[in-house]
Structure 1
Amino acid sequence: MNNKTPFEKPAVVSHGSWVKKLGPGLITGAADDDPSGIATYSQAGAQFGLNTLWTLFLTFPLMVGIQIISARIGRVSGHGLATNIRRHYPRPLLFGIVALLMFANTINIAADIAAMGAALKLLIGGSPHFYAVGFGIVSLLLQVFIPYKRYVRVLKWLTLVLLAYVGIVFAVHIPWGQVVEHTAWPQLSWKPAYITIVVAIFGTTISPYLFFWQASQEVEELEADPQAQSLIDAPNQAKANFTRINTDTLIGMGISNIVAFFIMLTTAVTLNLHGLTDIQTSEQAASALRPIAGEFAFWLFSAGIIGTGLLAVPVLAGSAAYAVAGTFHWRNSLSAKPLADKAFYSIIAASTLLGVLICFAPIDPIKALLWSAVVNGVIAVPIMFIMMLMASHPKIMGSFVIAPGLKVLGWSCTAAMAVVVIGMFWGLFAA
Structure 2
Amino acid sequence: MKPKAKKEGLIQRFWGKLGPGLITGASDDDPSGIATYTQAGAAFGSQLLWSALVTYPLMVSIQEMCARIGLVTNHGLTGAIKRYYPKYFLYAILFISFPSITLNIGADIAGMGAVGNLLFPAIPGFFFSLLFTMLILYSVIFWSYHKIALILKWLCLTLFSYILIPFLIDVNWPQVLKDTVLPTVTPDKAYFMALVGILGTTISPYLFFWQASMEVEERHEKRLIVDKRNMDNMEADVKGGMLFTNVVFYFIILAAGTVLFNAGIHHVNTVEEAARALRPLAGDQAYLLFALGVIGTGFLAIPVLAGSLSYMIAETFGWNEGFDKKYYEAPGFYLTMGLSLVIGLLIHFIGISPIQALIYTAVLYGVTAPVLIALILHICNNKKIMGKYTNNGWSNFFGIATFLMMTVSSLFLLWYTLGN
TM-score by length of 1: 0.92
| Mapping 1:136-215, distance limit 5 Å | 136-215=133-212
| Map of 1:309 onto structure 2 | 298
8 A Cα contact 1:62 1:409, kept in partner: yes
| Mapping 1:84-163, distance limit 5 Å | 84-125=80-121, 126-163=123-160
8 A Cα contact 1:381 1:414, kept in partner: yes
Change (3 A) 1:331 1:114: same
Change (3 A) 1:302 1:367: closer
CA deviation digits over 1:134-171, x for unaligned, max 9?
11111111111110011100000000000000111221
> In the aligned structure 2, how far is the partner of 1:123 from the partner of 1:347?
32
Counterpart AA for 1:83:
G
Aligned with 2:185: secondary structure? coil
Aligned with 2:72: secondary structure? helix
Aligned with 2:47: secondary structure? helix
| Map of 2:6 onto structure 1 | none
Structure 1: 5+ residue stretches without partners: 1-15, 232-237
| Map of 1:289 onto structure 2 | 278
What is the CA-CA distance between 1:378 and the residue it aligns to?
3.4
Change (3 A) 1:402 1:186: closer
Change (3 A) 1:336 1:249: same
Change (3 A) 1:142 1:427: farther
> In the aligned structure 1, how far is the partner of 2:283 from the partner of 2:396?
47
What is the CA-CA distance between 1:366 and the residue it aligns to?
4.4
> In the aligned structure 1, how far is the partner of 2:335 from the partner of 2:257?
42
| Map of 2:342 onto structure 1 | 353
Matched, 1:67 2:63: yes
8 A Cα contact 1:196 1:423, kept in partner: no
Counterpart AA for 1:377:
G
Greater shift after overlay, 18-27 or 368-377?
368-377
Matched, 1:79 2:75: yes
Counterpart AA for 2:294:
I
8 A Cα contact 1:83 1:327, kept in partner: yes
Aligned with 2:193: secondary structure? helix
> In the aligned structure 2, how far is the partner of 1:176 from the partner of 1:33?
23
> In the aligned structure 2, how far is the partner of 1:288 from the partner of 1:430?
33
> In the aligned structure 1, how far is the partner of 2:315 from the partner of 2:291?
36
> In the aligned structure 2, how far is the partner of 1:46 from the partner of 1:242?
40
Aligned with 1:52: secondary structure? coil
> In the aligned structure 1, how far is the partner of 2:183 from the partner of 2:79?
43
8 A Cα contact 1:374 1:424, kept in partner: no
| Mapping 1:321-400, distance limit 5 Å | 321-400=310-389
Q: CA RMSD in A?
A: 1.6
Counterpart AA for 1:424:
L
Matched, 1:250 2:232: no
Structure 2: 5+ residue stretches without partners: 1-11
Aligned with 1:271: secondary structure? helix
8 A Cα contact 1:129 1:360, kept in partner: no
Aligned with 2:361: secondary structure? helix
What is the CA-CA distance between 1:186 and the residue it aligns to?
4.4
> In the aligned structure 2, how far is the partner of 1:171 from the partner of 1:370?
27
Greater shift after overlay, 354-363 or 47-56?
354-363
CA deviation digits over 1:45-81, x for unaligned, max 9?
1111111101111111100100000000000111100
The runs of 4+ residues in structure 1 deviating greater than 6 Å are none
8 A Cα contact 2:200 2:367, kept in partner: no
> In the aligned structure 1, how far is the partner of 2:170 from the partner of 2:183?
20
| Mapping 1:212-291, distance limit 5 Å | 212-226=209-223, 228-229=224-225, 231=226, 238-291=227-280
| Map of 1:11 onto structure 2 | none
Greater shift after overlay, 66-75 or 173-182?
173-182
8 A Cα contact 1:393 1:401, kept in partner: yes
Greater shift after overlay, 122-131 or 204-213?
122-131
Greater shift after overlay, 240-249 or 80-89?
240-249
Change (3 A) 1:370 1:271: closer
8 A Cα contact 1:192 1:430, kept in partner: no
8 A Cα contact 1:100 1:375, kept in partner: no
Counterpart AA for 2:215:
E
Counterpart AA for 2:300:
L
Q: Which has the higher helix share?
A: 2
> In the aligned structure 2, how far is the partner of 1:382 from the partner of 1:186?
26
CA deviation digits over 1:378-405, x for unaligned, max 9?
3312211111111111121111111111
Greater shift after overlay, 136-145 or 278-287?
278-287
| Map of 1:416 onto structure 2 | 405
Identity %: 42
8 A Cα contact 1:36 1:282, kept in partner: no
8 A Cα contact 1:196 1:427, kept in partner: no
What is the CA-CA distance between 1:274 and the residue it aligns to?
1.1
> In the aligned structure 1, how far is the partner of 2:186 from the partner of 2:372?
30
